[in-house]
Amino acid sequence: MTRDYGVRKPHRALPIDHLMAGLLGVLLLVGIVGWCWEQQLAAIRTAQAWTIKGPPCPVVSGTAQFGYAPQAMDTFQFVKTRFSRVYGYVKCMVIFDRGGWTAVPVCRFNSPMLLDVAAPAGHATYFTQMHPATIRIVQGRPNCVLGAGPGID
């Protein structure tokens, strides 16, 4: 005869609520990983669309030889960089390059003629004539190629 006085050890099987919470946690984790993966792929697609392959822009020594001072040109700031242009429209965006991990400011110009760019680690003046141009600021230095891709007419 046992003397348990009505006290019994609880059954050790996992209750259904613990199983449901674990399943919900796994599903939530899978959803978050899937969302992050999609964001990474979207950043890579955007970077590819904004990366223009073309000949380098002609570099000149300054704007004075063309009769323009940077103060008289149409000037704007974008991500710690000053851009000055003579003509045209511009569209800027920060893309994520190198697999979607490195932030790179990019500006597309439709017909700037003359571009003066003062970036955190460098300054450059480009004579694009009336050709479209794309400027990327990579590691604080401006990099210009002729061509702007679709969407900047």
pLDDT of residue 111 exceeding 90: no
Range of the domain at 106: 49-146
What are the C-alpha distances in Å from 95 to residues 14, 46, 47, 57, 69? 48, 7, 5, 21, 30
User: Has residue 61 been placed in a domain?
Assistant: yes
Q: Quote the number of domains for the chain.
A: 1
pLDDT at 48: 74
Q: What is the pTM of this model?
A: 0.70
Of the candidates 85, 141, 138, 93, the residue with the CA atom closest to the CA atom of residue 110: 85
Q: pLDDT for 9-68, tens place per residue?
A: 666 666 777 788 888 888 999 889 888 888 777 777 777 777 778 899 999 987 777 777
Instruction: Judge whether 17 lies within some domain.
Output: no
Does residue 123 belong to any structural domain of this protein? yes
Residue 38 counted as domain residue: no
How many Cβ atoms from other residues are within 10 Å of residue 105's Cβ? Answer: 19
| Structural domain includes residue 28 | no
Q: Is residue 67 part of a domain?
A: yes
